[in-house]
Amino acid sequence: MRNLALHWKIIIGMVLGVAFGAVAAWAGWNDFVRDWIKPFGNVFLNLLKLIAVPLIIGSLIKGVTDLKDISKLSSMGARTLGIYIATTAIAVSIGLIAVNITQPGHFVSKETQERLNSTYASAATAKISDAEKEKSKSPLQPLVDMVPENVFGAASSNGNMLQVIFFVIFFGIGLILIPEESARPVVAFFSGLNDVVMKMVDLIMLAAPFGVFALLAALIVESPTPDIFVALLGYMGTVVAGLVFMVLVFYPTLVRIFAKKSPGFFLKGFAPAQLLAFSTSSSAATLPVSMERVKEHLGVHEDVASFVMPIGATVNMDGTALYQAVAAVFIAQAYGMDLSLGAQLGIILTATLASIGSAAVPGAGMVMLVIVLSQAGIPEAGLALILAVDRPLDMCRTVANVTSDATASMIVASSLGKLGEPKPENWGDSYRAGEV
């Protein structure tokens, strides 16, 4: 049991949570579960929310300062960023289209919706009155709202995350522009902060099997109908279908068009990195293998790979962005909220930014989902709905995240004439699995 991989422990937590919830509902232990089990689930949720602000600060400042080579490699930097942002925005759009077609949240019956709404009534009322206020504002108000007048004020609420992101990117740009000597200690501090926060995410994830158990048991006890599970299956199916499309169709097509390599060559050469991403749920842990695969097996020159891949592992998370879009709309649907086109376009922006700010470690994408939810006015408590099924989706979205980095490295390399032939002489691979 001790050596069991985390994802197995979480799956066991899920199964036991469902089983316990079912027994509790049958035996009438509802109050016991509500009073003594559910609070542990809420503690776990709070831990995830607690880490959101430091997570953005650490990971984004590191991501931006890693770009300092832009001065030397400006054309490579611009191309890389362009591809990263474009593919991420496309991924979010694919997610939005998929979830609007399948509408998994509508499987939740009116009865369950009302129960969800009454449980979180006060939060919902506050959001609704916020939404009313929004309507009377000028069209440029979102721009004004993005620029905080006080950084500590902005960092004091998870709902202001866009302001924090604005400040952090601005700060990172300032940091790149000052002389290296003065920047060094600041960069070292934030790089250390980033490591600490990543470790905290690791530690929180250790509690995930228990958190998931508590949340699922409470969900079952409080759910009057099984429709929530049908809805969850629909939600998972939508995320997975979107990711499968990205990995098997979208990226190979980009590689075919822009790098003139066949899908078979690309997928076969990169598959071991994808499997590692699947089993570690961490782009960072997969980085050594994904770098090696693109260099040795896909023919990307060393200087391109060592620039594009580490930045990609930190900031380019198409799978995460797609998942955040689907999850946000699903939660809104489950709460009976119909999101306007404007709100959905807003999700494209926030999910793209939130995925950039997500650390390359297990579970980070779900933490950043809080931002997408709060910016779109969707009850954050809805996280409880999807948390239990998050890990398998994390495994799948990490595969898309690393595949996207590899795609970008091939396109950038090809556009700079730096895409050569694979190097079979180096194929005595020794894979080092990341320590997660």
Which parts of this chain interact with ligand ASP (CB under 6 A)?
281-283, 317, 320, 358, 360-365, 394, 397-398, 401
At its nearest, how many Å lie between ligand ASP and the CB of residue 7? 11
Task: Kindly tell me which of 155 and 317 has the beta carbon lying closer to ligand ASP.
Answer: 317
**What's the rounded Cα separation, in Å, for the pair 270 and 268?**
6
Nearer to ligand ASP, 320 or 409 (CB): 320
Instruction: Name which of 194 and 281 has its Cβ closer to ligand ASP.
Output: 281
Identity of the residue, 281 or 407, whose beta carbon is nearer to ligand ASP in the bound complex: 281
Q: Are 375 and 290 in contact (CB under 8 A)?
A: no
**Residue (33 or 371) nearer to ligand ASP, CB:** 371
CB of 301 to ligand ASP, least distance (A): 24
Residues near 200 by beta carbon (within 8 Å), at least 6 away in sequence: 51, 54
Q: Which is nearer to ligand ASP, 45 or 364 (CB)?
A: 364
From the CB of 135, what's the least distance to ligand ASP, in Å? 33
Please name the residue that has the structure tokens 């989902």: 369
Q: Which residues contact 342 (CB under 8 A, 6 or more apart)?
A: none
How far, CA to CA in Å, does 15 sit from each of 21, 39, 193, 260?
Answer: 10, 19, 35, 46
For residues 12 and 420, give the distance between their C-alpha atoms in angstroms, rounded to a whole number: 46
Query: What is the nearest approach in angstroms of ligand ASP to the Cβ of residue 363?
Result: 5
What are residue 419's DSSP bridge partners? 300
What is the DSSP code string of 288-322? HHHHHIIIIIS-B-HHHHHHHHHHHHHH--HHHHH
Can you read off the two tokens belonging to residue 135? 């309507």
Smallest distance, ligand ASP to C-beta of residue 251, A: 15
Q: In this chain, which residue has its C-beta nearest to ligand ASP?
A: 365
Least separation in angstroms between residue 405's CB and ligand ASP is: 10
Rg (CA), the chain: 22
For ligand ASP, the closer of residues 281 and 374 by Cβ is 281
Q: To which residue do tokens 């496309």 refer? A: 90
Distances (CA, A) of 188 to 66, 93, 154, 202: 12, 36, 24, 21
Task: Tell me the closest approach of the beta carbon of residue 215 to ligand ASP, in angstroms.
Answer: 17
